[in-house]
Amino acid sequence: MEIQIRNLKADEIECRVGMLSEKGISLLLYKNARVDQAILDETFGITGWQRSHCRIGEDIYCTVDIWDESKAAWVHKQDVGTEGDYEKVKGAASDSFKRACFNIGIGRELYTAPFIFIPIENVRIEDRGGKKIVKDKFAVSRITTSEEKVILSLNIVNQKGQTVFSYGKNPVLVSSRRPEKDLLIREMERTGVTEQEVMKRYSLSSLENVDRETYLRILTALKKTKTAA
């Protein structure tokens, strides 16, 4: 049976500024090499994959080998990396590894990300020596994807937990009764508590199909929380 690569979780995705203009900024979604290593270990086992690097001309390539038990052979995926601003060789090696992992299927859903734009009035900009710098930090608080690795919904927050970008439909508690869903969402909005914080606090992979006991624990805790300023 073919092994499936799972889709990325919200806390495995990084947000970086792609463009800064007078109207606002755009964000790009990334994964890092540590996420790739963790998913490879999780999917194939620590002895079920290996990586190697080589230089072809001026470029550094990475080959990721996956052991195919049915064929009793290694399956190879290779890609080239681009140099970073610092530690250029190390940056190119890391980038080539991440690209090779895209070929395997890790994080391929990021290619389907919508254009992420945040208006300038929602961003803190600082002038440093004549250069504009974005002071805010951003994180993915929610993402849902299809089995075909297509992003269906996406929510991005700043360092204060405030939503700065939302895409698609909010799937929170999709199988729960509608009034209870609405009540929980209103309490989260009132307190400023994010979905990511709730999931981390109650060890949940998502807020979909939360059981009755956990739902009541979350709601009780939120009701005891002060309204956000």
In this structure, the answer to whether residues 25 and 78 fall within a common structural domain is no
Residue 147: C-alpha distances to residues 35, 44, 144, 215, 216 (Å): 19, 19, 10, 27, 30
In this structure, the answer to whether residues 69 and 92 fall within a common structural domain is yes
pTM equals: 0.68
pLDDT tens by residue, 129-142: 888 999 999 999 98
Residues 71-81, mean pLDDT to the nearest whole number: 86
d(CA 137, CA 121): 15
- Tallying the residues shown for the chain, one arrives at 229
In this structure, the answer to whether residues 112 and 20 fall within a common structural domain is yes
Q: Judge contact between 6 and 105, C-beta under 8 A.
A: no
In this structure, the answer to whether residues 39 and 132 fall within a common structural domain is no
Sole residue written with tokens 């947000």 = 15
d(CA 12, CA 35): 6
In this structure, the answer to whether residues 26 and 85 fall within a common structural domain is no
Residues 152-163, mean pLDDT to the nearest whole number: 91
In this structure, the answer to whether residues 197 and 179 fall within a common structural domain is yes
In this structure, the answer to whether residues 159 and 183 fall within a common structural domain is no
Predicted confidence at residue 111, as pLDDT, reads: 92
Q: How confident is the model at residue 26 (pLDDT cuts 50, 70, 90)?
A: very high
In this structure, the answer to whether residues 132 and 219 fall within a common structural domain is no
In a domain, 144, yes or no: yes
Q: How confident is the model at residue 169 (pLDDT cuts 50, 70, 90)?
A: low
In a domain, 47, yes or no: yes
In a domain, 59, yes or no: yes
In this structure, the answer to whether residues 73 and 131 fall within a common structural domain is no
Domain boundary residue among 148, 168, 188? 168
pLDDT tens by residue, 189-204: 889 998 888 888 887 7
Predicted confidence at residue 174, as pLDDT, reads: 42
Predicted confidence at residue 19, as pLDDT, reads: 93
In this structure, the answer to whether residues 72 and 54 fall within a common structural domain is yes
Give Dmax over CA atoms of the chain in angstroms.
62
CATH code of the domain covering residue 98: 3.30.390.80
User: What is the number of structural domains in the chain?
Assistant: 3
In a domain, 229, yes or no: no
pLDDT tens by residue, 83-123: 654 456 678 888 899 999 999 999 999 999 999 999 999 99
Q: Judge contact between 169 and 153, C-beta under 8 A.
A: yes
Predicted confidence at residue 186, as pLDDT, reads: 85
d(CA 169, CA 60): 41
What is the domain range of residue 152? 7-31+108-168
Q: Is the pLDDT score of 43 beyond 90?
A: yes
Domain boundary residue among 140, 168, 196? 168
